Amino acid sequence: MSAPTLTFLYNYGTSDTAYSGTGGADGDWKVIDINTCKKIYTGGGILGTLPIPTCAAGTRDATIRPITGVNNVPQIYIEDATTMYHVPLASGNPNTNRHVFAVYVDGTCTSDIYLEYWDDDTCSSTNLPVLSGTSAYPHSMVNAIRTTASAPPSGWTGASSNAEYLAGFAHRLPLKDASSVSNEAVYFNIYISIPYDSPLFHNQPVETFRYLYS
């Protein structure tokens, strides 16, 4: 067996339907090209929300830090060299949308696939403010939930069942909750919360997927 080929996908449509492809774009599901694309969390600032379904690459709206509680970053886009593509089912999180982001495995992982967030490609530290949290929010600000088997509950957070506040190896999220993943898609939903005592930052953590193969 050789290393499985992972394809990272996002649902560009408004219909909460599963991916039926085998590793390429299929229907509303588009491929996140790891060589050219970035995942952008934005909105909730002066502009409120950015234009949908697309806007020019480089467009940003800084999320306003709330006076109390948390403010969830309201929009996620996938940005390539020229265009940002809105991910509508990720808007307004925490929502109950199930088929938002997916990883398709062509081949076999002899383990689960673990979603992790790190400071950078070295996968060795989680010191960025978005991953280290604050006094009032003492964990990562990245909330993610596994939705491969079922939709998330309303109002879910990283503390919910099947969810995690993503930060490094210790706080990672298995996307299938099984000992192997083979020729299938696994799903997750994700958002970032900005607490009232957050420092001002523009962070670029790295989203990684860890697995084993023979």
Partner 1 sequence: MERNLINVKHMDSLDGKIYGISNTVTMVNPYKCYFIAHYPGGRVIKGNNLFDTGWDDLPDGIIRLQYKLSTGHVINIPKYRAYLHLVECSESLNGGRIFHSVNIKGMGDKSIINFKIVLKQDLYSKFKIGDIIVSEEKEFIQTPSWKFAGV
Enumerate binding residues for partner 1 (CB under 8 A).
1-3, 5-8, 31-35, 37-39, 110-111, 116, 119-125, 127, 179-180, 206-214
Residue 65 or 210: the one with the smaller Cβ distance to partner 1 is 210
CB of residue 14 vs partner 1: minimum separation in angstroms?
A: 23
Place of tokens 């929502």: 95
The answer to whether residues 115 and 172 touch, using CB atoms and an 8 Å cutoff, is yes
Residue 7 or 198: the one with the smaller Cβ distance to partner 1 is 7
Residue 71 or 173: the one with the smaller Cβ distance to partner 1 is 173
Residue 32 or 84: the one with the smaller Cβ distance to partner 1 is 32
Bridge pairing between strands 5-11 and 54-56: unpaired
Distance CA 214, CA 201 (A): 40
Residue 149 or 212: the one with the smaller Cβ distance to partner 1 is 212
User: Encoding tokens for residue 39?
Assistant: 């995942």
User: Which H or E run includes 11?
Assistant: strand 5-11
Listed in sequence order, the residues at least 6 apart from 204 whose beta carbon sits closer than 8 Å to its beta carbon are: none
Distance CA 46, CA 41 (A): 15
Place of tokens 């991910």: 87
